[in-house]
């Protein structure tokens, strides 16, 4: 345990297991970020059904019914946030709390100390920094409100906008896996994992 800073030490007593302790909605300059609701099915389906969007997502529903079934799964919807701009849903974010890696004897201390993020923004709203604005706010939620110690995300190496977004926010490329992820096109693609620690995020926030 030597060398670990206090900001990286998991605090069991305030370990979050869900997102209900956050004061939703979260407001940014241009967006409102809030937990997804069942009636967000249609708006998010209209975005996720676009080939230019779904081609990068781990799962692509065949039709609205299949999408709706998955969307309404209690476990899935509990990790999903939506982005509103001017009252309209323009995208969604996943915020999934995960366990950190640990040796067996200390595994309990690594429970629920990390989050994995994912993101989708309607192509009509891309290129304006809205995804950056939303993910920046969600990183703050992860570290300040939820007290997490590390946030990760991954993408196909060919998904340039996604890894540029992560780098813009100070996330570090930690893993580059060569042809280890089978895309539904049939091509084995390269994949990258990014992460940022709470201590790094705080140092970055102070510097800006």
Ligand X SMILES: CC(C)(COP(=O)(O)OP(=O)(O)OC[C@H]1O[C@@H](n2cnc3c(N)ncnc32)[C@H](O)[C@@H]1OP(=O)(O)O)[C@@H](O)C(=O)NCCC(=O)NCCS
Query: Exactly one of 107, 129, 188, 203 binds ligand X (CB under 6 A); which one?
Result: 129
- The helix/strand/coil state of 18 is coil
For ligand X, the closer of residues 77 and 157 by Cβ is 157
- DSSP-derived letter for residue 21 is T
82 in contact with ligand X (CB under 6 A): no
At 10, list the tokens. Answer: 């998991």
126 in contact with ligand X (CB under 6 A): yes
Query: Exactly one of 19, 130, 151, 171 binds ligand X (CB under 6 A); which one?
Result: 130
183 in contact with ligand X (CB under 6 A): no
Query: Exactly one of 24, 45, 56, 181 binds ligand X (CB under 6 A); which one?
Result: 56
155 in contact with ligand X (CB under 6 A): yes
At 145, list the tokens. Answer: 């409100």
Long-range contacts of 104-113 (CB under 8 A, 24+ apart): 108/12, 109/10, 109/12, 110/10, 111/10, 111/15, 112/15, 112/16, 112/17, 113/10, 113/15, 113/148, 113/149, 113/150
User: Which residues form the interface with ligand X (CB under 6 A)?
Assistant: 53, 56-57, 119-121, 126-132, 155, 159, 161-162, 164-165
């Amino acid at each position: 345990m030597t060398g670990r800073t206090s900001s990286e030490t998991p605090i069991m007593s305030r370990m979050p297991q869900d997102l209900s302790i956050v004061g939703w909605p979260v407001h940014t300059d241009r967006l409102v970020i809030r937990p997804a609701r069942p009636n967000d099915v249609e708006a998010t389906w209209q975005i996720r059904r676009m080939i230019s969007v779904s081609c990068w997502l781990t799962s692509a529903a065949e039709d609205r019914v299949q999408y709706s079934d998955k969307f309404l799964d209690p476990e899935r919807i509990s990790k999903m946030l939506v982005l509103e701009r001017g009252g309209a849903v323009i995208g969604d974010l996943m915020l999934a709390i995960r366990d950190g890696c640990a040796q067996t004897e200390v595994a309990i201390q690594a429970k629920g100390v990390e989050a994995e993020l994912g993101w989708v923004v309607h192509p009509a709203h891309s290129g304006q920094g809205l995804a950056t604005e939303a993910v920046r706010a969600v990183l703050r939620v992860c570290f300040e409100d939820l007290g997490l110690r590390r946030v990760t995300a991954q993408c196909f190496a060919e998904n340039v906008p996604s890894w540029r977004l992560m780098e813009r926010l100070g996330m570090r490329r930690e893993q580059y896996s060569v042809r280890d992820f089978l895309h539904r096109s049939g091509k084995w693609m390269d994949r990258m994992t990014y992460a940022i620690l709470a201590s790094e995020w705080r140092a970055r926030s102070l510097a800006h």
